Amino acid sequence: MEQLTDPTDKHRPVGEKEVKSKGALDWLATNIFRLLISLFVPIVTFIGLYLGFIFLRDSAAPKGVTAIVAIIWGVGGVAALYLVSNWLVEKLNDEWRAKIQPFVFVGPAVAILFVYLLYPTIATFRLSLFDRNGEIFVGLQNYVDIFTNRSMFVAFRNNILLWIPFGALFTVVLGLLIAVLADRSKYERTAKALIFMPMAISMVGAAVIWNMIYDVNPNVGVLNWIYTNITGNNPQAWTASNQPWNNLFLIVVMIWLQTGFAMVLFSAAIKGIPSDITEAARVDGATEVQVFFRIMIPYISGTIITVTTTVVIFTLKIFDVVQVMTGGQFDTQVIATQFYREYFTSRNSGLATAIAIVLLITVIPVMIYNLKQFRETEAF
Amino acid sequence: MTAQTATKKKRRISWGAIFVNIALVLIVLAWSIPTFGLLVSSFRSRFDIQTSGWWTIFPHQEWVTVAEIQPGPELDRDGVMTFEGVSGTFLELRDGIQSGNTQVVWIGNKRIGKVVVQQKEWTRGNHDFTLENYQTVLGGKTFQIQQPDGSTLTVQGDNFVNAFLNSLIVSIPATLIPILIAAFAAYGFAWMKFPGRRVLFIIVVALLVVPLQIALVPILKLYVGLDLNGTFLGIWLAHTGFGLPLATYLLFNYISTLPREILESAFIDGASHFTIFIRLVLPLSVPALASFAIFQFLWVWNDYLIALIFIGSKPDVQVLTQRIAEMVGSRGNDWQVLTAGAFISMLVPLIVFFSLQRFFVRGLMAGSVKG
């Protein structure tokens, strides 16, 4: 250290002015250099990213090559943007750095959220007050139309009177039942894994699986094979005839998908019940049924509410299952498929956005409640 | 007396255990059979699928023809006829008459038809498993398919390889980008001081309640203007936008509870925020990052709605879920390709599920509040 500072000390008496001007020159030289680098690095980064974008858009390279380039470009690009902007900020003096750095960290997230969620919510609300082309202001007419249109009425009926009661009820009850049963079995892990597995499958995949089960050909559809063998009747088109009960066959798909989710949450909650409580009750002569209803259910009531609200939200937004299995025909439409149909088939942006707003208003109270519960239970 | 009640109790419990396990096995079977049926069907030929259920691959009892009788022209077909000790009218015989383990059936036309004698036998059916469906689905070549009536049909194969790669191209960045952005933001909200911190964070959490249907129309309009429709960048950013509130919220919950002393001592040693974030916070947050990554990856991989809207019908960009949904619409009865295609799309999630079960469950639990 001392040796390094020595030479400058020796130079000092030679004349202050000279040193100063040399310092200023040095300062200018190094700073122009730094300034150039500070400009150069971001520009190179942007050019690199732009070239990547052009390559991905126009190239006819084999798909495998495109895949690797796309993944590296996408992920690397975002990382590079952070690196470069942070590198620039760290060149500033302490005061400015402290002011700007938080926005380098938080800024991108906030900007994306504003563009992708906040602005669209406002824009959707505005569009819902305009006509089908978004040109003429119509006030609340779209909302009036929603609640007087037969097809929308059926969608609300399906979503609220069939999907929520049947879907949510069976998901919660079955999930609870399986959790209790699995808790007493040696094969708990395997059983839970197999019942949870449908959660990994896409709703489109599930739609294919269940379309096959419901197929009219009794050699393809298990359900019709069983039905024709037992009753001797002709095979049925389960998802098309017997309206509105055909909806139940779509609801079964959701129950199949979601029960595993309910089961895992219930299972964790049941394991959280102190065993001395249940043991004490059993010693006092309580039957298993009494233990279940008088101790377990009250103890895990918080979890039951969380699971129910989550399933209800999921049910309100259900889209893929209906869209793929029936396309919303045969009176199986739900709110989300009506939104899609109004915007993409009927080209009525006013009505479609009004449906989206109705969906938002329906979901918000349940969602807020769910978030509160989620914070309390700290499920994560 | 006490010993007696003890054994009684023990017996009751073991009966209970048997009941529990039987009930559990039934439920697990009911839950697994649908997927199993799909898997089995994906290895059967079109002819087999249309003519016999996938469940017939198991040993079962079936009527097997043991003898054929060609009734002579002199037989009175309008009266009661007797074959192999079974007698009945033509109509009865056409429906089949059973006696014990034997069944006699008149097959075909009244005048020139024949009579077959069948016996119920255990059989495993005559099934050939084939990989042809997967070749049809994965390769873009044309294939000859034998139909139930004996004629052949030429079918253009579906190029699922392309769709599979597209799913990967969409899912990997759409998982990593929101995680990176959310982790930076979560660190910023948790450990940096700046004006508007509270307000911005409340906005982020509040946006959790917005169902994504709300955002679709305005963003689609924006994309049409910017020519981002049908590009990978467009769909990455869309998934990033819809996944960010949850990611930020979850990672904030985790990162803000990291021990203060560790970060402070790093500061005293002169480390910058950036260094601390990269070297300290990210490695410490791996469990939270992994859980969210798995949730987001599966969410994007299995997503249909966002792909449908922002990719639309551009065939070279379409992902697996779109291709399958399209196939359901256009070739809903070609079960041999539908099942194979659906199984290909499930392969990646199932591998993730069985290899990373613990993170998987945690991730899905955490993701349950996604808007």
Segment B294-299 shows an average pLDDT of 86
The alpha-carbon gap from B315 to the nearest alpha carbon of chain A, in Å, equals 13
Measured distance CA(B19)–CA(B27) in Å, rounded: 12
Task: Provide mean pLDDT across the span B203-216.
Answer: 83
Low-confidence ranges of chain A (pLDDT < 50): 1-19, 378-380
Residues A330-379: tens digit of each pLDDT: 888 888 888 888 888 888 888 888 888 888 888 888 877 777 766 665 44
Say if residue B326's pLDDT is above 90. Answer: no
Determine contact, residues B115/B106, Cβ cutoff 8 Å: yes
Distance in Å, alpha carbon of A87 to nearest chain B alpha carbon: 9
- Which residues of chain A are within 8 Å of residue B254 when distances are taken between CB atoms? 380
Which pLDDT tens digit goes with each residue over B113-123?
777 787 777 77
Per-residue pLDDT tens over the stretch B122-135: 776 666 787 877 87
Given a cut of 60, whether residue B3 has pLDDT beyond it is no
Mean pLDDT of B82-105: 75
Q: At the top level of CATH, which class does the domain A141-377 belong to? A: mainly alpha
Please give the average per-residue pLDDT across B340-362, as a whole number. 81
> What percent of chain B has pLDDT above 70?
87
Q: How far is B154 from chain A (nearest CA, A)?
A: 22
Chain B residues in contact with A79 by the CB 8 A cut-off are 180
Q: Does A95 touch chain B (CB under 8 A)?
A: no
Q: What is the pLDDT of residues B147-190, one digit of tens each?
A: 555 666 655 556 788 888 889 889 999 999 999 999 999 999 98
pLDDT at B2: 47
Q: Quick one: pLDDT at residue A21? A: 55
The chain B residue lying nearest A86, using CA atoms, is B274
Domain ranges of chain A: 2-91, 141-377
- Domain B160-367, CATH: 1.10.3720.10
- Give pLDDT, residue A374: 63
Going by DSSP bridges, is the β-strand pair B60-69/B81-83 parallel, antiparallel, or unpaired?
unpaired
Looking at this protein, which amino acid is placed at residue B321? T
Specify whether the CB–CB gap between B335 and B49 falls below 8 A: yes
pLDDT tens profile A20-79: 555 667 767 777 777 777 788 778 888 888 888 777 777 676 777 888 888 888 888 888
Neighboring chain B residues of A110 at a CB cutoff of 8 Å: 185, 200, 203-204
Could you give the 3-state DSSP secondary structure of residue B231? Answer: coil
Residue A288's contacts (CB-CB under 8 Å, 6 or more residues apart) are B16
- In whole angstroms, what is the distance from residue B325 CA to residue B296 CA? 21
pLDDT over 60 (residue B306):
yes
Q: Is pLDDT above 80 for B371?
A: no
pLDDT category at B294 given cuts 50, 70, 90 is confident
Cross-chain Cβ contact A367/B214 below 8 Å: no
List CB contacts (< 8 A) between A74 and chain B. Answer: 172-173, 176-177, 232-233, 236
Are B20 and A184 an interchain contact pair (Cβ–Cβ within 8 Å)? yes
Residue A281: predicted pLDDT: 86
Smallest Cβ–Cβ distance between B350 and the set A185, A187, A200 belongs to: A200
- A positions 16-35 inside 8 Å of B (CB): none
Is A215 in CB contact (< 8 Å) with chain B?
yes
Beta carbons of B371 and A367 less than 8 angstroms apart: yes
Q: What CA–CA distance (Å, rounded) separates B233 from B310?
A: 11
ipTM for the predicted complex comes to: 0.79
Which pLDDT value is given to residue B16? 75
pLDDT band at B299 (very low <50, low <70, confident <90, very high): confident
Q: Mean of the per-residue pLDDT values for chain B? A: 79
For residue B241, the chain A residue with the least C-alpha distance is A116
Shortest alpha-carbon distance between residue B331 and chain A (Å): 12
Domain boundaries, chain B: 59-123, 160-367
- A151 min Cα distance to partner chain B (Å): 19
Q: CB–CB of A105 and B180 under 8 A? A: no
Q: Report whether pLDDT(B293) > 70.
A: yes
Is the pLDDT reported for residue B40 higher than 80?
Answer: yes
Contacts of A350 in chain B (CB under 8 A): none
The predicted pLDDT at position B344 comes to: 87
